[in-house]
Structure 1
Amino acid sequence: MESNQKQGGFFASIAAGFSSIGSAVHKSVNGVLGYEGLEVINPEGGTEDAEEEARRGRWRQEDRDSYWKIMQKHIGSDITSMVSLPVIIFEPMTMIQKMAELMEYCHLLDLADQCEDPYLRMVHAASWAISVYFAYQRTWKPFNPILGETYEMVNHGGITFISEQVSHHPPVSAGHAENEHFTYDLTSKVKTKFLGNSVDIYPLGRTKVTLKRDGVVLDLVPPPTKANNLIFGRIWVDSLGEMIMTNLTTNDKVVLYFQPCGWFGAGRYEVDGYVYNAQEEPKMLMTGKWNESMSYQPCDLDGEPLSGTELKEVWRVAPVPENDKFQYTHFAHKINSFDTAPKKLLASDSRLRPDRRALEKGDLSKASSEKSSLEERQRAEKRNREANKHQFTPRWFNLTDQVKSTPWGEMEIYEYNGKYTEHRAAIDSSDCIEEADAKSIEFNPWQYSHSSVN
Structure 2
Amino acid sequence: MGTPQDKKPQGGGGFFASIASTLSNFGTAMQKSVNGLVGYEGLEVINPEGGTEDAEAEAQRGRWRQEDRDSYWKMMQKYIGADVTSLVTLPVVIFEPMSMLQKMAELMEYSYLMDSADKCEDPHMRMVYASTFFVANYYALQRAWKPFNPILGETYEMVNHGGITFLSEQVSHHPPISAAHAENDHFVYDITSKVKTKFLGNSIDIYPLGRTRVTLKKDGVSLELVPPPSKVNNLIFGRTWVDSPGELILTNLTTGDKVVLYFQPCGWFGAGRYEVDGYVYNAADEPKILMTGKWNETISYQLCDSEGEPQPGAELTQVWKVAESPVNDKYQYTYFAHKINSFDTAPKKLLESDSRLRPDRYALEKGDLSKSGSEKSRLEERQRAEKKIRESKGEKFIPKWFDAEEEMVPTPWGELELYRYNGKYDEYRASSSSGGRIEGENDIRSEEFNPWKYEELS
| TM-score tier (shorter) | over 0.9
Separation in structure 2 between the aligned mates of residue 19 and residue 326 of structure 1, nearest angstrom = 27
- Residues in 1 aligned to 2:299 and 2:31: alpha-carbon distance in whole angstroms: 35
Which aligned pairs between 1:17-416 and structure 2 lie closer than 5 A? 18=29, 22=33, 25-26=34-35, 28-30=36-38, 34-46=39-51, 48-416=53-421
What CA distance in whole angstroms lies between the structure 1 residues aligned with 2:248 and 2:105?
20
Which segments of 5 or more consecutive residues in structure 2 lack a partner in the other structure? Answer: 1-21
Q: Is the 8 A contact 1:165 1:172 kept in 2?
A: yes
Classify 1:49/1:284 alpha carbon distance in 2 versus 1 (closer, same or farther; 3 Å).
farther
> How many Å apart are 1:47 and its aligned residue?
5.6
RCO greater where, 1 or 2, for CA within 8 Å and sep 6 or more? 2
8 Å CA contact 2:92, 2:369 repeated in 1: yes
Which residue, 438, 448, 457 being the options, matches 1:451? 457
Q: Tell me, which stretches of 5 or more residues in structure 1 are unaligned? A: 1-10
Does the Cα contact within 8 Å between 1:223 and 1:242 map onto a contact in 2?
Answer: yes
Q: When you count helix as a share of all residues, which structure comes out higher?
A: 1
Q: What is the identity, as a one-letter code, of the residue corresponding to 2:324?
A: P
Separation in 1, partners of 2:182, 2:49: 38
- Alignment check: 8 A CA contact 2:281 2:288 kept: yes
- C-alpha separation between the residues in 2 aligned to 1:78 and 1:297? 41
Q: Distance in 2 between matches of 1:348 and 1:429?
A: 16
**What is the Cα deviation at residue 403 of structure 1?**
2.6
Per-residue CA deviations over 1:259-285 (Å, capped at 9, x if unaligned) read: 000000000000000000000000000
Counterpart-to-counterpart distance in 1, 2:398 and 2:89: 25
Work out the CA distance in 1 between the residues paired with 2:159 and 2:114. 17
Q: CA deviation at 1:15?
A: 5.0
- 1:345–1:438 Cα contact (<8 Å) kept: no
Q: 1:437 to 1:119 in 2, by over 3 A?
A: closer
Q: Are 2:31 and 2:48, in contact at CA under 8 Å, matched by a contact in 1?
A: no
For residues 306 and 185 of structure 2, what CA distance do their matches in structure 1 show? 36
User: How far, CA to CA, are the matches of 1:345 and 1:45 in structure 2?
Assistant: 47
Q: CA deviation at 1:48?
A: 4.7
8 A Cα contact 1:41 1:50, kept in partner: no
Q: Which moved more, 1:436-445 or 1:160-169?
A: 436-445
TM-align CA RMSD: 2.0
Cα distance, 1:240 vs. partner? 0.6
* Contact map agreement 1:205 1:404 (CA 8 A) in 2: no
1:170 alignment partner AA: P
Distance in 2, matches of 1:90 and 1:15, equals 34
Matched to 1:355, the amino acid is: D
- Cα separation, 2, equivalents of 1:19 and 1:242: 17
| Residues 40, 232 of structure 1: 8 Å contact kept | yes
The answer on whether the counterparts of 2:32 and 2:269 sit within 8 Å (CA) in structure 1 is: no
| Equivalent AA in structure 1 for residue 37 of structure 2 | V
Work out the CA distance in 1 between the residues paired with 2:289 and 2:187: 23
Amino acid at match of 2:456: H
User: What TM-score do the two structures reach when normalised by structure 2?
Assistant: 0.92
1:183-242 Cα offsets, whole Å, 9 max, x none, are: 000000000000000000000110000000000000000000000001000101111100
One-letter amino acid matched to 1:306: Q
Corresponding residue SS for 1:105: helix
Query: Does the Cα contact within 8 Å between 1:205 and 1:406 map onto a contact in 2?
Result: yes
Q: Secondary structure at the match of 1:392?
A: coil
Code of the residue aligned with 2:447 in structure 1: it is: I
Instruction: Give the letter aligned to residue 199 of structure 1.
Output: I
Report Cα offsets for 1:144-200 as digits up to 9, x if no partner.
000000000011010000000000000000000000000000000000000000000
Secondary structure of residue in 1 paired with 2:433? helix
Q: 2: CA distance between counterparts of 1:408 and 1:233?
A: 29
Question: 1-side partners of 2:58 and 2:361: how far apart?
Answer: 30
Q: Say whether the 8 Å CA contact 2:32–2:47 is kept in structure 1.
A: no
Contact 2:349 2:434 in 1 (8 A): no
SS at match of 2:194: strand
**1:7 equivalent in structure 2:** none
- Report the counterpart of residue 3 of structure 1 in structure 2: none
How much has 1:50 moved relative to structure 2? 3.0
Render the CA deviation track for 1:285-304: whole Å, top value 9, x for unaligned: 00000001100011111101
Question: Contact 2:30 / 2:265 at 8 angstroms: preserved in 1?
Answer: no
| Distance (whole Å) between structure 1 residues aligned to residue 319 and residue 439 of structure 2 | 44
User: Structure 1 CA distance, aligned partners of 2:78 and 2:260?
Assistant: 38
User: Is the 1:42–1:49 Cα contact (8 Å) retained in structure 2?
Assistant: no
| TM-superposition CA deviations, 1:8-49 (whole Å, max 9, x none) | xxx99x759739965xx33x223xxx2111100101014654
Count, aligned residues: 434
Deviation at 1:397, TM superposition (A): 0.2
